[in-house]
């Protein structure tokens, strides 16, 4: 593709229903059942992503000012690794599974579990990692043998255009299609029957998705956000806390579902942690974040305004950063000392570069405060000794935990929320598992009839034989 990325065109309602009926028909014709067919699709997708690596970098830069480094690692590189991992393992994953824990007499029936595709599935993506979080679930859906309709986020329009280009170049159009659009197009999609809907985005839209799926009893995966706490015990290393927590909130300018929303820090450690934040900020951005090529911008004016009012409404004291520039959609990484979890910076998911710090008396207070927040987080970031970290994990809930780290999630480990942060998990083998139906199969040989005849009426006297 040339330098210019064309404007995003939303799909017409006619195109939406045509592509759904084509993909559904293709599933019913069993086009995607053959494992070799799926592997070919995934390999073609691999090469199309490779061919469009520069377009991906450009689209992410236009949509989010995303640095090349972050795009290559977390968008194109991530997907390429995911496809390699999936294609290497697919033959193993699709194999029938032997049933375990079966009583001896039933073993004669050779019980096994087949991994069947679910059917025609819908993947709805989000804007912050537009390629990874849209094509990532689609890789699992393709591997599992489904036909797939993909709806990228309209909030990252350049990325949405490139996603469509990649899919149309790589994938069989009878089985896989991309629908572009905003709320009305997504609602038109949701009015249809699906065999699974995989949604990544905010909790409010997640509720809309679950409601729309209910009349059809369509299973849903909701990959939502969270008000993620970091709990820092007095045994933590302040330098490590500051460097890692600053990283967690500067990657993609904090537009990262797994980044920490607030820090609960043992009060004895607060002054040192603040000093270390200042040092780390200078080290990461010697000329300041605004002048750095390594710092993203906020996706659009709506999100900028939302973040600005969170900061304006905070009663906390800004210790670092605090600069904003609406024309440039720039918000500086900002450390704020707050005095309550009720502060505006803690009560909502910021999905931006804010680092509110709340000093606490001890670990018990931190755990109680983290548990008092009504929403169960997607991620939890405990810092401290092994004993302190173990105590934090065993007395809290969250989708995942990164001990002594921020935001990190190993790419092939199951990833998903709990409670308000969503349900269902994917990544690695789970991306395949989440898109298959585990179909239990038994077969009763005819010679078993003499024993099975026991179940037929008349029943008289049969129970006494036990
Ligand atoms: P978004 O604006 O990109 O919306 C997500 C999708 O929902 C888009 O495809 C959009 O078209 C669709 N949508 C929006 N409103 C709709 C409506 N009324 N009806 C039907 N569809 C609608 O993203 P967002 O919602 O602003 O995403 C930010 C949230 O996503 C944050 O809470 C973040 O934590 C969460 N997130 C979660 C993960 C995860 O993997 N768990 C990853 C990234 C982001």
Per residue in 320-344, pLDDT (tens digit) is 999 999 999 999 999 999 999 999 9
Residue nearest (by alpha carbon) to ligand 1 atom 14: 183
Establish whether 257 is a catalytic residue. Answer: yes
Complex ipTM value: 0.96
271 contact partners, CB below 8 Å, separation of at least 6: none
The pLDDT mean for the chain works out to 96
Specify the pTM: 0.97
Residue 237, classified by CB atoms within 10 Å of its CB into exposed (0-12), middle (13-18) or buried (19+), is middle
| Average pLDDT of the residues in 447-463 | 92
DSSP letter string, 320-334? E---EETTTTEE--E
State the pLDDT at residue 373.
Answer: 82
Kindly report the number of other CB atoms within 10 A of residue 131's CB atom: 26
State the pLDDT at residue 466.
Answer: 62
Distance between first and last Cα of the chain: 74
Q: Grade residue 158 by pLDDT with cuts at 50, 70 and 90.
A: very high
Per residue in 253-274, pLDDT (tens digit) is 999 999 999 999 999 999 999 9
State the pLDDT at residue 2.
Answer: 55
Residue nearest (by alpha carbon) to ligand 1 atom 33: 225
Catalytic residue, candidates 60, 175, 257, 346: 257
| Ligand 1 atom at minimum distance from 208 CA | 19
What is the C-alpha R_g of the chain? 25
How many angstroms does the Cα of residue 200 sit away from the middle of ligand 1? Answer: 6
CA angle 417, 421, 422 (to 5 degrees): 65
CB contact at 8 A, 344 and 362: no
Establish whether 120 is a catalytic residue. Answer: no
Per residue in 85-115, pLDDT (tens digit) is 999 999 999 999 999 999 988 999 999 999 9
CB contact at 8 A, 229 and 260: yes
Residue nearest (by alpha carbon) to ligand 1 atom 40: 223
Per residue in 270-317, pLDDT (tens digit) is 999 999 999 999 999 999 999 999 999 999 999 999 999 999 999 999
| Ligand 1 atom at minimum distance from 416 CA | 41
Pocket of ligand 1, beta carbon within 6 A? 124-128, 133, 151, 153-155, 182-183, 186-187, 200-202, 205, 208, 223-225, 257, 349, 351, 378, 417, 422
CB contact at 8 A, 373 and 341: yes
């Amino acid at each position: 593709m040339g330098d210019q990325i064309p404007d995003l065109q939303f799909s017409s309602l006619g195109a939406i229903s045509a592509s759904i009926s084509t993909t559904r028909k293709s599933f019913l014709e069993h086009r995607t059942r053959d494992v070799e067919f799926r592997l070919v699709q995934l390999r073609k997708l691999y090469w199309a992503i490779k061919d469009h690596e520069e377009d991906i970098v450009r689209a992410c830069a236009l949509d989010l000012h995303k640095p090349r480094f972050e795009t290559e690692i977390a968008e194109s590189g991530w997907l390429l690794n995911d496809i390699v991992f999936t294609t290497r393992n697919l033959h193993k994953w699709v194999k029938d599974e032997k049933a375990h824990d079966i009583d001896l007499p039933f073993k004669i029936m050779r019980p096994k579990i087949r991994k069947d595709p679910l059917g025609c599935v819908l993947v709805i993506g989000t804007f912050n990692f537009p390629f990874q979080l849209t094509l990532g679930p689609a890789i699992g859906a393709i591997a599992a043998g489904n036909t797939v309709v993909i709806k990228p986020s309209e909030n990252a329009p350049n990325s949405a255009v490139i996603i469509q280009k990649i899919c149309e170049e790589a994938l069989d159009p009878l089985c896989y299609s991309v629908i572009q659009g905003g709320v009305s197009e997504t609602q038109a999609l949701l009015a249809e029957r699906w065999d699974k809907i995989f949604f990544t985005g905010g909790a409010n839209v997640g509720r809309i998705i679950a409601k729309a799926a209910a009349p059809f009893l369509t299973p849903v995966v909701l990959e939502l956000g969270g008000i993620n706490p970091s709990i820092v015990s007095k045994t933590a290393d302040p330098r490590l806390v500051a460097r890692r927590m600053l990283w967690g909130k500067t990657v993609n300018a904090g537009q990262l579902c797994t980044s920490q929303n607030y820090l609960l820090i043992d009060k004895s450690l607060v002054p040192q942690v603040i000093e270390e934040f200042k040092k780390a900020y200078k080290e990461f951005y010697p000329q300041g974040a605004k002048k750095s090529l390594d710092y993203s911008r906020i996706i659009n004016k709506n999100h900028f305004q939302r973040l600005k009012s969170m900061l304006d409404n905070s009663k906390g004291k800004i210790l670092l950063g605090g600069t904003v520039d609406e024309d440039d959609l720039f918000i500086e990484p900002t450390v704020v000392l707050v005095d309550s979890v009720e502060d505006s910076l803690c009560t909502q998911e910021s999905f931006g570069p804010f680092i509110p710090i709340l000093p606490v008396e001890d670990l018990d207070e931190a755990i109680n405060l983290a548990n008092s927040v009504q929403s169960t987080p997607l991620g939890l970031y405990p810092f401290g000794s092994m004993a302190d970290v173990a105590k934090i994990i065993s007395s809290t809930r969250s989708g995942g935990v990164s001990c002594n780290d921020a935001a990190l999630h190993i790419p092939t480990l199951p990833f998903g929320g709990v409670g308000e942060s969503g349900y269902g998990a994917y990544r690695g083998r789970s991306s395949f598992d989440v898109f298959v139906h585990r179909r239990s199969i038994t077969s009763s040989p005819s010679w078993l009839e003499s024993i099975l005849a026991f179940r037929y009426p008349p029943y008289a006297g049969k129970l006494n034989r036990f």
